A and B are shown apart, each in its own frame.
Chain A
Amino acid sequence: MNAMIDDETLDRQLREAAPYIDDDGFTARVMAKLPAARRERRWLRAAILIGLTVLGSGIAYLLSGGGRFVVAGVIQLSSFPIWLLLVFAFGCGLVVGAFAVIFAIRKTPEARDLARFRL
């Protein structure tokens, strides 16, 4: 009987003995059996959101007497000191910018992967 081979040699032989299995249409068969993508439901969700937004805006417009509150708000703003308006505008810019950065990260796979995956 020959001497036994070491672990490393055995593992290497096992890896070499396992042949690469050609795809031979396997991936196509899997893809054909996948459930339909959920894109339709996304459109439905978007349509519902837009519909509700339009409906809510319409109701608010009617209840506010034709949007007079907007005119009143602008008149009120015009009476504010200029420095307060600048601070307000700067604050709004910061908030919008922060949200933009957050959404940009969430929409960028590379950045999102850093937070979510450790592959």
Chain B
Amino acid sequence: MELTDADLIARVLADDDQHAFGELVGRHQSSVRGLLRQLTRTDISLADDLAQETFIRAYKNIRSFRGEARFSTWLYRIAYNRFREDARKRKELVGVDEELLQAEHDPQTVDPGLRHDLMHALNLLPLHERTAVVLCCQNGLSHDEAARVLDIPLGTVKTNVLRGREKLKRTLAAWAPN
């Protein structure tokens, strides 16, 4: 029988079982790295560095995980915080997204080769909308869980998801062949 996340966490807590933690890393690495690749706009090297630090931070702080949320939600929160810290250092958190948001409104600036690529359409969204859409629509978090990950009000998450979806739909509709 396959152990649940809770079983593995319990082993890490009780015996400092690093093999159990390794199993948790293996289970969640794809979604955490995927989230960070979206946040860093597919900078794979940076995203993987941040993902590594996310898991190391999770291991060091696993005693603070009280099981009130899913383990994956807790990991996303650490990953998002780590991304924000890094973005603050790089001074990229504000500014870049606004440029790309402007670009989205100008169909001429969209590479025709990317027309059917949803992931690239996603990358055109501003950071707050992209993050909300990735968490809720792609990773299946509830609005409430996403609000906890992002540490923002529930209403803001709903608004960001709604706006992000609408923009994606508009972009995809514009890209679709007539």
Given contacts A11-B137, A17-B119, contact A30 B165 (CB under 8 A): no
CB contact list, B100-155 vs A, under 8 A:
117-119, 122, 133-134, 137-138, 140
Q: Are A113 and B6 in contact (CB under 8 A)?
A: yes
Chain A nearest CB from B41 CB (Å) reads: 15
Determine whether A87 belongs to the interface, using a CB cutoff of 8 Å to chain B.
Answer: no
Task: Say yes or no: B51 contacts A1, CB within 8 Å.
Answer: no
Which B residues touch A113, using CB under 8 A? 4, 6-7, 10
Main secondary structure of the interface of B (DSSP, over half): helix
Given known contacts A4-B169, A119-B5, A20 and B30 CB-to-CB distance under 8 angstroms: yes
CA distance A112 to B4 in the complex (A): 13
The A/B interface has a contact count, at CB < 8 Å, of 113
- The contact string, 1 if C-beta is below 8 Å from chain B, for chain A 19-35, is 11111001101110111
Asked if B33 is at the interface (CB within 8 A of a chain A CB), the reply is yes
A107, B10: Cα distance in complex, Å: 10
B18 at the A/B interface (Cβ < 8 Å)? yes
B64 is an interface residue with CB less than 8 A from chain A: no
Q: In the complex where A1-B173, A20-B30, A21-B29 touch, is A118 in contact with B18 (Cβ < 8 A)?
A: no
Whether, in the assembled complex, B168 has its beta carbon less than 8 Å from a beta carbon of chain A, the answer is: yes
List 13 additional contacts besides A20-B30, A35-B59, A109-B14; criterion CB under 8 Å: A11-B138, A14-B168, A15-B140, A17-B118, A19-B34, A21-B30, A22-B30, A26-B51, A31-B18, A31-B22, A113-B10, A117-B9, A119-B4
Residues of A within 8 A of B (CB): 1-5, 7, 10-11, 13-15, 17-23, 26-27, 29-31, 33-35, 37-39, 107, 109-110, 112-113, 116-119
